Structure 1
Amino acid sequence: MKQLKVFAAALLFAGTATQAQNADQPWAVTVGVNALDGGRSSVATDFPDRFGQYFQTDNWSILPSASVLNVSRYLGANVSFGVTGSVNKMKKVVMSADSSTIDGLFNGQRTMAGADLMYYGVDGQFRYSIGGLLGTKWFDPSVHVGGGYTFLGKASSGNVNGGLGLTLWFSENIGLNLSSTYKHQLEDEGVLRAQNVSVPTHLQHTAGVTFRFGGKDTDNDGILDKYDECPEVAGLKQFNGCPDTDADGVVDHLDECPNVFGEPQFNGCPDTDGDGIADNQDACIDEPGLPEFNGCPDTDNDGVTDAQDECPDEAGPKENNGCPWPDSDEDGVIDRMDECPEVAGPASNKGCPEVKEEHIKQLNDYGKTILFNTGKSTFQEKTYTVLDNMASVMNQFPNAKFAIEGHTDNTGTDKINDPLSNDRANAVRNYLISKGISANRLTAEGFGSKRPIDDNKTAEGRANNRRTEIKLIK
């Protein structure tokens, strides 16, 4: 018997589990009330009879205050383990009489005796959750076994116990617990002697509110850290504890625009202009555009976005800010490449009109009629009209360059003729420059009598040799 007392006392340090816990919420506390079925079980002859009239409450003793406290810890595999302390006052004791009783012989008959005995119990129990097997979250039946120690009046006794329980969970952390425990007392004598009784074998029923806790939830979002993909930021259950600030269905840590409602296909960003380019990558969020221009439009398809295109409706090169190069003379050669932008000419001549053979012949015909004063490089009066005509022809070809050559007959010496021919050539050049021909388009050189085109022996030949020739510089 002594060994049984030691065993029962050892269980006091273990614990009782009258409510469901799990690995997520490993700790539980139950506060409630208990009812004692006053020892009827101890006088039944057969074990099954000890549970007869289970729901008859006439023999129950209930203390009208919180009278049960349980603390338990989940161990794993649907098993929990804890400690229960209870207090009550036993008002009724069912017993059988013998010759030693205070009231004499009762011939083995059972009777109800009044009592006023304080009851204290400390029990340790292992509990197995059947709800864990069923996979239900709110309905949790269970079985439990254990042992403990009971004090009744001046008597005390160790016990072994077992029973059934049911917890109805209202939420993740709060539930209603109901249980019944059969406590077989190891020193039950079933007698009453001058209000001094041995502790009878009895049933104890409890009802209480269970609070389970212990799961870590750093961000207090109701999702335990072990299941929370964002344990330090409060979030939503449907996103495994991660937040979705803009409520667009894309969690913040995957949302490229976490504060603006967007579309999943754009990683949570909106596409305001509907061009298929998310606003965070769209340089023109209010105008539909093209991916290659970061969402900006190019109306004339010239490769210059409208925002940078000075001529958005007319195609033009980027170098000219999206505008077409001007072609003032409409010769097909743009002005910036046209050396004669105001005079039409072929591209082969850089947009300038081409000097043809007949034009050179015309200039040389004019050159033959240029008359100088004898021995001088000054012009005779009627020559100015000829020079003006020459300038008019040259002005038709703004980019053409001409060489002006002065020639004399062989009258006189080279010492005289060479500088004279050179001065006369430059006199023609200077006059043409004064009429608007660019200086860099004209060269002048005198050759004296070195390049005759006729016989100097005749007056007519010498007249032909005294000439001003125009040649095209190519």
Structure 2
Amino acid sequence: MNKNYVKIVLLLFVATLLFTGVKAQNADKKWGVGLYLNFNDYKGDIANDFWEFGNAEPYIGSATLGRYLNSSFDAVFRVSYFNVESEGAIGNFDAWLFNTNLNLKYKFNNGYFLKEDATLSPFLVAGVGYTNADTKGRVFASNFDKKYDNVNFYYAAGLNIRIDDRWSIALETGIYYPLNDKYDGYKNKMRDTESYHDKFMHNTVGVIYSFGKSDDSDGDGVSDKRDECPNTPAGVAVDKKGCPLDSDGDGVADYQDECPMLAGDPLLAGCPDSDGDGVADKDDKCPDVKGLVQFAGCPDTDGDGVQDSEDECPQVKGLKALNGCPDSDGDGVTDAKDKCPTTKPGYKVDAMGCAFDNDKDGVVNEEDKCPEVAGPASNYGCPEIKAEVKKELEFAAKNVQFASGKDELTPNSKKILDEVVQILNDYPAYSLAISGYTDNQGKDEMNLMLSEKRANATKKFLTEKGIAMERISAKGFGESNPIATNATSAGRALNRRVQFELEIK
């Protein structure tokens, strides 16, 4: 083998490496090496042995280095060493050929004709190479022993049989078409060049092993080209398509599925919900009864916000504070226990739902103006003033008198007022209204002022005797409402008076 031939082989190999790296950043590229068994035939001036398999002897004489370019094309660098023998009417020859070729391979499993992972995939090959031949023979009684080096073309068709992602079997039939027509030791210029030009049939069967690191953006072990889920989080187990495992087939990946072995609802993190209430069985306290999310899947039949298991009145809408039972009058006692179900709003009640009546007079505290002293309802729950007491007040009103023109009580009047103090102590629920009057002596303005002072002087006397100030009111009315004539001194004395009236607070 001469030095020029070695240089050409090296140049072809380097060109293969450069050519196959064109789209390295955009495709899922794999390297592949192949080893082939050759069956080689000759067609030329001496004979036509194409498809005469009885003349071909098998040789393990081809090796390939291939590179994935894209879904349709591979680049393949082939090295072959094979023997061809032939005998015809004009002679015979025996040749050993060493050939290198750089080929472009078109694959039909490119997604257009067949799926890329098809088991059977036809292909076409075309390329250019260089051949070195060592030929011996005899033509027209002349012996020859020559060596040839020249460029050749190569075209072929074949079938690839995919075993798995790494191994495949390739069947290929191709034609080496050298530019030199002397490989059989003879060139007849008289013959049709196309028909008798030396060419060689190259039938091969071999195995191809694919290797090399594919692009795998998410690092799940499935190349980007085949990865149907290219953004799988790191560390997540995936299937052969590159998608996260979904053991129970519910559409929720195991790494996101809180119930990975039970098919469930994607909205419930892959967990089942037997009663269809929106609460996963694992969290449902009532898994066999459709309930509410807020009650951990338990029902609230009457819709009162209290789940049935805690509702003392599950068939009647009630109050949460009363364990789901109703309270018609809103007094805090359930209807079932309320003996006074129509209590007015805001009234304080006892355990039976009845308003309090401290003095037991039949008038509830909120309506009883004397809640601690029994009295008839007609008098707002306060005791009625006895007739003799009324008479005493009338007597006091007529006999509490003042010195003429003054607001000073007479000594006799103070004794009478002591009796008024006793009455107020006996009737603590009542208040006393004091009205002051004068005779008609003097100016009206002065009389009005004087009557006010006399009313207040009376009030002062009573409060000094221990009667609470807020129980007494005092007001002067001057010379109005006389009870006697002002024409006599006796009458005027009667008109200088105070009047008393007991009132319920």
Whether TM-score is above 0.5 comes out as: yes
In structure 2, the CA distance between the partners of 1:236 and 1:377, relative to structure 1 (3 Å rule), is farther
Quote how far apart the aligned CAs of 1:378 are. 6.5
Deviations 1:329-369 (A, max 9, x none): 974131479xxx7459xxxx994247999679955964542
d(CA) in 1 for partners of 2:325, 2:467: 41
d(CA) in 2 for partners of 1:207, 1:404: 130
Residue of structure 1 equivalent to 2:114: 135
Structure 1 residue 352 and structure 2 residue 353: aligned? no
2:119 is aligned with what amino acid?
A: W
Superposed counterparts of 1:201-280, under 5 Å? 201-211=200-210, 215-221=214-220, 222-224=222-224, 228-231=228-231, 233=233, 241=242, 243=244, 249-250=250-251, 258=256, 260-261=258-259, 264=265, 266=267, 268=269, 276-277=277-278
Higher normalized contact order (CA 8 Å, seq sep 6+, divided by chain length): 1
Secondary structure class of the residue paired with 2:69: strand
Quote how far apart the aligned CAs of 1:260 are. 2.6
Quote how far apart the aligned CAs of 1:149 are. 1.3
Superposed counterparts of 1:276-295, under 5 Å? 276-277=277-278
Residue of structure 1 equivalent to 2:151: 158
Residue of structure 2 equivalent to 1:80: 74
d(CA) in 1 for partners of 2:466, 2:270: 72
d(CA) in 2 for partners of 1:239, 1:470: 103
Quote how far apart the aligned CAs of 1:89 are. 5.9
Secondary structure class of the residue paired with 1:142: strand
Superposed counterparts of 1:415-454, under 5 Å? 421-425=455-459, 440=470, 442-445=471-474, 447=476, 450=479, 452=481, 454=483
Please say if residues 291 and 297 of structure 2, whose CA atoms lie closer than 8 Å, have aligned partners that are also in contact: yes
1:203 is aligned with what amino acid?
A: H
Instruction: Pick which of 171-180 and 295-304 moved more.
Output: 295-304
In structure 2, the CA distance between the partners of 1:390 and 1:429, relative to structure 1 (3 Å rule), is farther
Residue of structure 2 equivalent to 1:100: none
In structure 2, the CA distance between the partners of 1:453 and 1:146, relative to structure 1 (3 Å rule), is same
Please say if residues 331 and 343 of structure 2, whose CA atoms lie closer than 8 Å, have aligned partners that are also in contact: no
List alignment gaps of at least 5 residues for structure 2.
Answer: 135-146, 187-197, 312-318, 350-354, 359-363, 371-376, 401-410
Please say if residues 404 and 444 of structure 1, whose CA atoms lie closer than 8 Å, have aligned partners that are also in contact: yes
d(CA) in 2 for partners of 1:108, 1:58: 20
Please say if residues 289 and 295 of structure 1, whose CA atoms lie closer than 8 Å, have aligned partners that are also in contact: yes
d(CA) in 2 for partners of 1:245, 1:428: 96
Name the TM-score, length of structure 1 as normaliser. Answer: 0.60
Structure 1 residue 312 and structure 2 residue 290: aligned? no
Quote how far apart the aligned CAs of 1:125 are. 2.1
Secondary structure class of the residue paired with 1:83: strand
Residue of structure 1 equivalent to 2:32: 29
2:87 is aligned with what amino acid?
A: S
Secondary structure class of the residue paired with 2:121: strand
Residue of structure 1 equivalent to 2:90: 108
In structure 2, the CA distance between the partners of 1:419 and 1:239, relative to structure 1 (3 Å rule), is farther
Quote how far apart the aligned CAs of 1:258 are. 3.4
Residue of structure 1 equivalent to 2:60: 62
1:334 is aligned with what amino acid?
A: G
2:36 is aligned with what amino acid?
A: V
2:231 is aligned with what amino acid?
A: P
d(CA) in 2 for partners of 1:301, 1:214: 63
Please say if residues 452 and 474 of structure 2, whose CA atoms lie closer than 8 Å, have aligned partners that are also in contact: no
Residue of structure 2 equivalent to 1:334: 346
Please say if residues 409 and 449 of structure 1, whose CA atoms lie closer than 8 Å, have aligned partners that are also in contact: yes
Deviations 1:241-277 (A, max 9, x none): 554789674567xx9x935349556274758796845
Quote how far apart the aligned CAs of 1:41 are. 3.7
In structure 2, the CA distance between the partners of 1:187 and 1:321, relative to structure 1 (3 Å rule), is farther
Secondary structure class of the residue paired with 1:374: helix
Residue of structure 2 equivalent to 1:196: none
d(CA) in 2 for partners of 1:271, 1:472: 72
d(CA) in 2 for partners of 1:322, 1:89: 109
Identity of aligned residues (%): 12
d(CA) in 1 for partners of 2:170, 2:211: 12
Alignment length (residue pairs): 403
Residue of structure 2 equivalent to 1:399: none
Question: 1:390 is matched with which residue: 410, 427, 444?
Answer: 427
Residue of structure 2 equivalent to 1:104: none
Residue of structure 1 equivalent to 2:500: 468
d(CA) in 2 for partners of 1:248, 1:453: 107
List alignment gaps of at least 5 residues for structure 1.
Answer: 98-106, 194-198, 395-401
2:130 is aligned with what amino acid?
A: Y
d(CA) in 2 for partners of 1:275, 1:451: 88
Please say if residues 165 and 210 of structure 2, whose CA atoms lie closer than 8 Å, have aligned partners that are also in contact: no
d(CA) in 1 for partners of 2:331, 2:131: 103
In structure 2, the CA distance between the partners of 1:285 and 1:424, relative to structure 1 (3 Å rule), is farther
Please say if residues 11 and 124 of structure 1, whose CA atoms lie closer than 8 Å, have aligned partners that are also in contact: yes
Secondary structure class of the residue paired with 2:322: coil
d(CA) in 1 for partners of 2:323, 2:434: 54
Please say if residues 11 and 147 of structure 1, whose CA atoms lie closer than 8 Å, have aligned partners that are also in contact: no
Quote how far apart the aligned CAs of 1:140 are. 0.4
Deviations 1:70-114 (A, max 9, x none): 2234356x343332223x464xx42337xxxxxxxxx63658x6x
Secondary structure class of the residue paired with 2:428: helix
d(CA) in 1 for partners of 2:174, 2:252: 50
Residue of structure 2 equivalent to 1:71: 66
d(CA) in 1 for partners of 2:334, 2:427: 40
Q: How big is the alpha-carbon RMSD for the aligned residues of Structure 1 and Structure 2?
A: 6.0
d(CA) in 1 for partners of 2:464, 2:342: 33
Quote how far apart the aligned CAs of 1:144 are. 1.9
Residue of structure 1 equivalent to 2:137: none
Deviations 1:182-203 (A, max 9, x none): 223333535589xxxxx97352
Please say if residues 27 and 70 of structure 2, whose CA atoms lie closer than 8 Å, have aligned partners that are also in contact: no
